Amino acid sequence: MLFRPLAGAFTLMAALAVAPSASAQEAVLYPKTTLGEITAADGPGLDAETITIDRDRANRMTVPVGIDGRGPFSFMIDTGSERTVVSRDIASVLSLELAEIARLVSIAGTKMVQTVYLPEVTLGRRNYGELVAPILEPQHIGADGILGLDGLQDQRILFDFLENAITVEDVTERVRTSDFEIVVSARRRSGQLIFTDATIGGKRVSVVIDTGAESNIGNLALLKRLGTSSAINTQQASLTSVTGQTILADAGLASDFRLGRAQFDYVPVVFADAEAFRELGLDKTPALLLGMSTLRLFNRMMIDFKQRRVLFDMPSDAPRKPGRARI
């Protein structure tokens, strides 16, 4: 999501679910997850720590977050969200001080929201100080809150899907790229890392890593570029965001998705005319928000915000296209 005071906007691109539009899409109340353990990491950085992650019913990742010495609370990790978000229940329990009214741009539209001051936000040993966070309804978030890019930037985060854990460390030295099969460079816009080293059906596509989305979400420019040959079995569906807003979309399978040496015969994609793409300047050219349904197919993923790079490890039995790992 994008977030700004009244004069601007901020983005929150998390999407909870996709359902056929023939029936009304109801908000799902996800149960709170069990909070994970925090341990010292074995990596090269002395400041690194590994945090066990859990997942909600939408297959997204949650971690234990402290607020002003209280908690821990279960927050979803969302690399597609510009700002950290707190649920209305937690804001009420903690009697958080109100901040400004802001305009929030989600995958399903624009909404005016109340924001609050989050004092002393902590993840493991890291203290992010005070953050300004929008309030959203807990039944739409599916967790106590969302940990966005304002709490993740300028750090290096390793998502280990095999061990079901993340390792967070400050960027003090360059990571060894030889440890990963795929390394892509990205540009930064509104905090998000956007890279173009990917194709669908042989067509170049801009990709945003969105750990807050259950599904892969493509824009209409991508659907038009693919035509009927690479976007198959599409059917009308509804897409619900964490703001509770719902938009109509076309859900289907896109063939031949390639990212570096990784090659997938088909990936599920929901195509929508989403305001978030316009806010990021990605509405005119093919673009894809890569969600958890595909990200979990990799063994590991590292996001290096400081160096503007994303690194992947493929499963050992996954097909790979010929060529070097670095692209």
The predicted pLDDT at position 314 comes to 84
How large a percentage of the chain has pLDDT more than 70? 74
For residues 267-285, give the mean pLDDT. 90
For residues 189-216, give the mean pLDDT. 88
- Say yes or no to pLDDT of 186 above 90: no
For residues 218-235, give the mean pLDDT. 80
DSSP H helical segments within 178-288, as ranges? 220-230, 275-279
Compute the mean pLDDT over every residue in the chain, rounded to the nearest whole number: 78
The predicted pLDDT at position 46 comes to 42
> In which band, very low, low, confident or very high, does the pLDDT at 279 lie, cut at 50, 70 and 90?
confident
Cα(258)–Cα(272) distance, integer angstroms: 21
Cα(83)–Cα(7) distance, integer angstroms: 16
> In which band, very low, low, confident or very high, does the pLDDT at 22 lie, cut at 50, 70 and 90?
very low
Of 61 and 320, more confident: 61
- Say yes or no to pLDDT of 113 above 70: yes
- Say yes or no to pLDDT of 128 above 60: yes
The predicted pLDDT at position 233 comes to 67
> In which band, very low, low, confident or very high, does the pLDDT at 93 lie, cut at 50, 70 and 90?
very high
Of 85 and 229, more confident: 85
Cα(23)–Cα(122) distance, integer angstroms: 41
For residues 102-127, give the mean pLDDT. 88
The dihedral formed by the CA atoms of 156, 159, 160 and 161, expressed in degrees to the nearest 10:
-170
Ranges 22-31, 34-43, 96-105, 148-157, most confident: 96-105
**CB-CB contact of 75 with 212 (8 Å):** no
The predicted pLDDT at position 221 comes to 94
The reply to whether the predicted model has a pTM over 0.85 is no
For residues 305-322, give the mean pLDDT. 75
The predicted pLDDT at position 34 comes to 32
Helical (H) or strand (E) element with 93: helix 88-93
**CB-CB contact of 63 with 37 (8 Å):** no
